[in-house]
Amino acid sequence: MDGILNVDKPRGKTSFSIVSMVKRLSRERRVGHAGTLDPMATGVLPVCIGQGTRVVEYLASASKSYRAEIEFGVTTDTYDCTGNVTFRGDSSTVNREKLEAVLSSFHGIIEQIPPMYSAIKQNGQPLYKLARAGINVFRQSRPVEIYRIEMILWELPVVTLEVECSKGTYIRSLAHDVGQILGCGASLRNLIRLRCGPFHIGDSITIPQLEEAFRHGYWEKYVYPLDTVLADWPAVVVDEEKEQDIINGRSILLSRGSDTNEPVEYGLYRAYSRYGRFLAVLKFNAEKGEWHPQKVFLTNT
């Protein structure tokens, strides 16, 4: 079975533990997730199975949406409610006008410093291991993009936001940074991932539902085709000759009538057989004017 499960990760579970569970239940060795969620976070965790693991990189690069509860007046070393309190401030100094002004400053491309308690590696060592050892190291800021940031509930000291952002964005860091600007401190109290690429919370499956589906043998109905991840990309249908070229890893020329001689975003296309079989990801080679099969998917469907 090749494809993706849209799992609703519960609070307290690690992303790795969900992958381990799916491995055990499906008896499939190749299982991975796209986009780690912290144990305290819940929501959409795409779990890729079989050849679905080969599209993880595309899914991990997709935009994501979150609902975040931020508590003002308290700062922690992890930037969320699981950490040790490092500062307490006066949240009564925050008003809607001030907060809206600060939030607007985070819209667009920003430089964000990852938290110490993160899986980012420095000299081969995850930062969270250094943090647990009491070692605080310099972290290089990284550009991320906030497409939308909106306040949806005001109940001081807790404010609920919805955030749509690029890959690599830490909502914990966003909460911390907002609190620093306002001067009262802030930390993340709750986080739900509403969307990861094409996968939405409303279509996700809970762990009990998934376990029940495995128990009674109908879990495959929850598996999305692996090309679901690439649904927004342009596609081309090839004849039998080009299909064999692609399967054998040979570059192909595409007709001008298909408008594919010019590269699109990233120069990537989906390739299908005449019978609708998903064949490969094609990458445009500008020097040769050819399309090379970057990844070939030999599925049974």
Is the pLDDT at 259 greater than 80? The verdict is no
The three-class DSSP label of residue 137 is coil
The pLDDT-based confidence of 274 (bands split at 50, 70, 90) is: very high
Residues in the chain: 301
Q: Which of 2, 8, 38, 227 is catalytic?
A: 38
For residues 81 and 187, membership in a common domain is answered with: yes
Is the pLDDT at 203 greater than 50? The verdict is yes
CA dist 53 → 18, 34, 46, 49 (Å): 15, 9, 10, 6
User: Residue 190 and residue 11: Cα distance in Å, rounded?
Assistant: 9
Residue 4: which of 215, 211, 193, 230 has the closest Cα?
230
Question: In terms of C-beta density within 10 A (0-12 exposed, 13-18 middle, 19 or more buried), how is residue 15 classed?
Answer: buried
Mean pLDDT, to the nearest integer, of 205-226? 95
What pLDDT digit, counting tens, does each position of 57-102 carry?
999 889 999 999 999 999 999 999 999 999 999 999 999 999 999 9
**Look-up of token digits 């690690």:** 14
CA angle 226, 230, 236 (to 5 degrees): 105
For residues 51 and 152, membership in a common domain is answered with: no
- Cis, bond preceding 114 (omega within 30 deg of 0): no
CA dist 60 → 9, 63, 134, 269, 297 (Å): 16, 8, 30, 18, 19
Query: Does 278 map to a domain?
Result: yes
For residues 241 and 278, membership in a common domain is answered with: yes
Q: Is 239 a catalytic residue?
A: no
Is the pLDDT at 300 greater than 80? The verdict is no
Is the pLDDT at 21 greater than 80? The verdict is yes
Structural domain harbouring 243 = 233-296
The pLDDT-based confidence of 163 (bands split at 50, 70, 90) is: very high
Is the pLDDT at 151 greater than 80? The verdict is yes
Please report the beta strands in the chain, taking only residues with DSSP state E, as ranges in sequence order: 3-9, 31-33, 42-49, 64-72, 74-76, 85-88, 108-112, 121-122, 125-126, 142-155, 158-165, 186-196, 199-200, 223-224, 235-237, 268-272, 278-285, 290-296
Determine the pLDDT at residue 103.
97
Query: Does 77 map to a domain?
Result: yes
Query: Does 151 map to a domain?
Result: yes
- The two structure tokens encoding residue 259: 């408008």
CATH of the domain at 278: 2.30.130.10
**Look-up of token digits 């605080």:** 136
Is the pLDDT at 265 greater than 70? The verdict is no
For residues 168 and 21, membership in a common domain is answered with: no
The pLDDT-based confidence of 299 (bands split at 50, 70, 90) is: low
Query: Does 301 map to a domain?
Result: no
The pLDDT-based confidence of 125 (bands split at 50, 70, 90) is: confident
For residues 146 and 72, membership in a common domain is answered with: yes
For residues 176 and 72, membership in a common domain is answered with: yes
Query: Does 168 map to a domain?
Result: yes
| Number of domains the chain contains | 3
For residues 69 and 187, membership in a common domain is answered with: yes
For residues 57 and 123, membership in a common domain is answered with: no
The pLDDT-based confidence of 139 (bands split at 50, 70, 90) is: confident
CATH of the domain at 215: 3.30.2350.10
- The two structure tokens encoding residue 261: 């001689």
The pLDDT-based confidence of 301 (bands split at 50, 70, 90) is: very low
For residues 134 and 240, membership in a common domain is answered with: no
Determine the pLDDT at residue 255.
66
Helices (H), the chain: 15-26, 56-60, 96-105, 127-132, 171-182, 207-216, 240-247
User: Residue 167 and residue 133: Cα distance in Å, rounded?
Assistant: 28
Cβ atoms of residues 260 and 299 within 8 Å:
no
Is the pLDDT at 261 greater than 60? The verdict is no
